[in-house]
Structure 1
Amino acid sequence: MSKIQIFCIITSMLFVACKSTPKETSITIENKAEKKACCENIPNRFTSEKEVKADEMVWIEGGTFMMGGDDKQARDDEFPKHEVTVSGFYMDAHEVTNAQFMEFAEATGYVTEAEKKPDWEEIKKQLPPGTPEPDDSVLAPASLTFFAPNHSVNLNNNAAWWAWTLGANWRHPQGPDSSIDNKLNFPVVHVSWNDVMAYCKWAGKRLPTEAEWEFAARGGLIDNIYPWGNEDIDLGKIKANSWQGQFPNINEEKDGFYKSAPVKTFAPNEYGLYDMAGNVWEWCSDTYHYDYYKTIKGTSVNPKGPETSYDPNEPGVFKKVTRGGSFLCNTAYCSGYRVAARMKSSIDTGMEHTGFRCVKDK
């Protein structure tokens, strides 16, 4: 979901405008939306000689694997399966926590995009000419939070379980009356791609490529569906934080959590990486293009993704890839906890179920 979708949800007039966006639009790296994301403009105070503790990261020996969908739940943008080689890298053992992000924010004074008033001049560049400006009550610091409807809903209408919540941000995940005081070891959320790029620069790390992320999530297993193998997520022992029950109105909480869980709650994969399935979606460095896999010929070595962005659902919005699924994923809805599952979001959007982890070159 993007901020454009947010305004579509809130105002029916904007919804009509969004639906009329030309289908064949492809957003390139030169577009203004991407220029806003370029980390070269991040102030030098975000660059750090911060020491990386050995127990915070895991060395992933590089190798060659088959990347892409493994089962009937795989979607079209996960095909065709193709051969990829990645070099070795270090990866955070778990998602970046509230405590870690707080250290960054306090050291740099960084303010996330969810904590700022949305810039209408930037947003309207992604909308059809003549789109009316929303009311000031909409153009206020806010972010998307999950709420459960009290009845079953059409799963094609994600507005049925997302709310544009004023005052929601990484410090207040469910809105101004919530806090992270007792959740410092939970993954940070409501952080946009732009936000996490700033954190990476400060930490002396970077975001993983989509190929690195999938290689690491597979944990050395060949053509398996999940980080733990092929056993269905709802069978046997609890393996990850996901949605058990009827999504989005009934969560049976068999895993012990209604929403996100503390990092390292569930068993790691064979590489010692936690929460590569479920908990929160994780940003990658790659630009998202629906047909990207179809353009790859032969073995791809350390791929960094396409130069152009295209999502048929929002063809005019520049997007980056997210991976791993979240506490909202279940078999009936998205099964995002599969190692090959792909999701995407605009670079300025933060949500209650999206966080990140970092990697570092040797």
Structure 2
Amino acid sequence: MGGLIRCLLLAAVLCTEPTWAAQDILVPAGEFKMPAKLNQKNLKVASFYIDSHPVTNAEFLEFVRQNPEWRKSKVKKLFADKSYLNYWVSDLKFGDKVMAASPVVRVSWFAAREYCAWKGQRLPSTNEWEYVALRPINNETEIKTLILEWYGRGAEWPLSNVNKSSPNNLGVHDMHGLIWEWVEDFNTSLVTGESRADGGLDKDLFCGAGASGAADPADYAAFMRFAFRSSLQAKYTVQNLGFRCAKNR
């Protein structure tokens, strides 16, 4: 009898989905004006799905369990720098169990991309991420104020759990105020200064004194996102840089 009870309890645990498990949120097609751009033309975005929150340590742990080449001791230097998952205690342990629901960080673009592919998904594009990020927050918090307050606090550690902030009007959490996030085309954000490399980059983005000619010069928060993305390389891992997945409808 005791064995049967233990089996039933185990089954109940395994079948109970954690409250922080990511959900696919449907993003309707639409148009928007990209913040931090001089040329304010409407951009069209097709309907797609995006995760309700960034990928957590617990979710990424399952990925490295099944894909040992992405464990911290085995990942190739070509695909991640030496800080990759450096806050994890070991290959298969991220530390205190309270970190299970906090976002995984110190992961490279390569690792984030592989995780999403493993889930049958992909990283969102810059346009998709910014489109969702502009959605109003349900508690009517002013987005620019929220972001600038976050920037002013600097890097915080340990990170809070996902889903603690109010969602936007689509039901998407943590687009602002928790971590930075990888996007698929992160390296097309700003001009590099090398003429051969600049052909595919967006020359309408503003910075510094150039902000005075922008349609919304106060949108410093959006420019910071583009500037940060432009500073990255695909193998970089950063303490407050994680990701979430998306997929086509």
Of 27, 32, 35, which residue of structure 2 is paired with 1:60? 27
Q: Is 1:268 equivalent to 2:181 in the alignment?
A: no
* Contact 1:193–1:349 (8 Å) recurs in 2: yes
Of 238, 246, 249, which residue of structure 2 is paired with 1:359? 246
Of 65, 88, 107, which residue of structure 2 is paired with 1:171? 88
**Hey, what does 1:143 align to over in structure 2?**
83
The alpha-carbon distance between structure 1 residues 194 and 83, as it changes in their structure 2 partners (threshold 3 A), is same
Q: Is 1:341 equivalent to 2:225 in the alignment?
A: yes
**Hey, what does 2:145 align to over in structure 1?**
232
* Contact 2:187–2:233 (8 Å) recurs in 1: no
**Hey, what does 1:160 align to over in structure 2?**
none
State the 1:259 CA deviation: 4.3
Superposition pairs for residues 1-362 of structure 1, below 5 Å? 56-69=23-36, 78-112=37-71, 116=75, 118=77, 142-143=82-83, 169=86, 171-172=88-89, 179-219=95-135, 228-229=141-142, 232-233=145-146, 242=150, 258-291=157-190, 310-312=191-193, 336=221, 338=222, 341-342=225-226, 343-344=228-229, 345-362=232-249
Give the 4+ runs in structure 1 shifted more than 4 A.
112-117
Question: What's the TM-score, normalizing by structure 1?
Answer: 0.47
* Contact 2:32–2:44 (8 Å) recurs in 1: yes
State the 1:104 CA deviation: 1.0
Structure 2: unaligned runs, 5 residues or longer: 1-20, 202-218
Structure with the largest fraction of strand: 1
For 2:38, give the aligned amino acid: F
1-side partners of 2:233 and 2:161: how far apart? 26
If asked which structure has higher relative contact order (CA below 8 Å, sep 6+), I would say 2
2-side partners of 1:231 and 1:351: how far apart? 23
* Contact 1:96–1:187 (8 Å) recurs in 2: yes
For 2:129, give the aligned amino acid: W
2-side partners of 1:283 and 1:340: how far apart? 14
The alpha-carbon distance between structure 1 residues 200 and 276, as it changes in their structure 2 partners (threshold 3 A), is same
What do residues 198-247 of structure 1 show as CA deviations (whole Å, max 9, x unaligned)? 1111100000010011111112x5xx9xx943562399xxxx8x3555x5
State the 1:56 CA deviation: 1.1
What do residues 60-108 of structure 1 show as CA deviations (whole Å, max 9, x unaligned)? 1110111122xxxxxxxx4333310011111100000011111111122
Question: What's the TM-score, normalizing by structure 2?
Answer: 0.66
Structure with the largest fraction of helix: 2
1-side partners of 2:132 and 2:47: how far apart? 10
* Contact 1:197–1:207 (8 Å) recurs in 2: yes
Match of 2:97, SS state, is coil
Quote the sequence identity (%): 26
What do residues 182-206 of structure 1 show as CA deviations (whole Å, max 9, x unaligned)? 3010000111011111111110000
* Contact 2:22–2:53 (8 Å) recurs in 1: no
State the 1:260 CA deviation: 1.8
The alpha-carbon distance between structure 1 residues 243 and 217, as it changes in their structure 2 partners (threshold 3 A), is closer
The alpha-carbon distance between structure 1 residues 65 and 110, as it changes in their structure 2 partners (threshold 3 A), is same
2-side partners of 1:90 and 1:339: how far apart? 25
* Contact 2:25–2:52 (8 Å) recurs in 1: yes
Number of equivalenced pairs = 201
1-side partners of 2:54 and 2:122: how far apart? 13
The alpha-carbon distance between structure 1 residues 194 and 99, as it changes in their structure 2 partners (threshold 3 A), is same
Q: RMSD value over aligned CA atoms? A: 3.9
Structure 1: unaligned runs, 5 residues or longer: 1-53, 70-77, 124-140, 145-167, 249-256, 292-309, 321-333
* Contact 2:126–2:186 (8 Å) recurs in 1: no
* Contact 1:114–1:143 (8 Å) recurs in 2: no
